[in-house]
Chain A
Amino acid sequence: GENVEQHPSTLSVQEGDSAVIKCTYSDSASNYFPWYKQELGKRPQLIIDIRSNVGEKKDQRIAVTLNKTAKHFSLHITETQPEDSAVYFCAARGRNAGNMLTFGGGTRLMVKP
């Protein structure tokens, strides 16, 4: 089955700096890669996703890049703000996985004002 590794597990940045979180996946058939943000005590919320037919997607301060050859994808947050502080999860879904997502271990991002 699919295996998703996420790094780093914790990340501390100064407000205004950029943050990058990286994930690798094992199943070359995976074709959908969402990112979720989970604030303390809240549900995971989808913030951006990318499908295997594109290499990059951007939404304001957030971007995701995908390298299918290397089987890794990354989340980039620019001009970080204190409200970006949360746990971020990457996930991957394979074509043969019955629509199931496999999640990475999560990254706790702390943005210091």
Chain B
Amino acid sequence: SAVISQKPSRDICQRGTSLTIQCQVDSQVTMMFWYRQQPGQSLTLIATANQGSEATYESGFVIDKFPISRPNLTFSTLTVSNMSPEDSSIYLCSVEFLETQYFGPGTRLLVL
């Protein structure tokens, strides 16, 4: 399996600020994804992080709000920009490794 770490594990932020979440995987992977999980809800795909090109965003998510970097095959960042309380959620990094999708431990974000 792939071992995924995320930083930070949790944060409390003021509205209007931005937070960058880092995701590191212990194997080179082609596919990396970012999900949001609101309390008691299912997993919603934000975007697919493509190495060497722009991320592919799902309906309802835009690059200005959630810029993503993917500098290599083991690392990605997601920034939550100009935060509002509605952005309070858990953000999960995910990778596909050997045709199986694994999840990172998540970043729990609270915006005040």
Chain A residues engaging chain B, CB cutoff 8 angstroms: 32, 34, 36, 42-46, 49, 89, 98-101, 103-106
Q: Would you call B31 an interface residue if the criterion is a C-beta within 8 Å of the partner chain's C-beta atoms?
A: yes
B31 contacts A103, CB within 8 Å? no
Select from chain A the residue with minimum beta-carbon distance to B56. A98
Pairs A–B under 8 Å by Cβ, sample size 23: A32-B99, A34-B100, A34-B101, A36-B103, A43-B103, A43-B105, A44-B43, A44-B92, A44-B103, A45-B103, A46-B101, A46-B102, A49-B100, A98-B48, A98-B56, A99-B96, A100-B33, A100-B48, A101-B101, A103-B42, A103-B43, A105-B41, A105-B42
Number of interface residues of B (CB under 8 A): 18
Interface flags for B54-83 (1: CB within 8 Å of A; 0: not) read 001000000000000000000000000000
Which residues on A sit within 8 Å (CB–CB) of B42?
89, 103-106
Select from chain B the residue with minimum beta-carbon distance to A98. B48
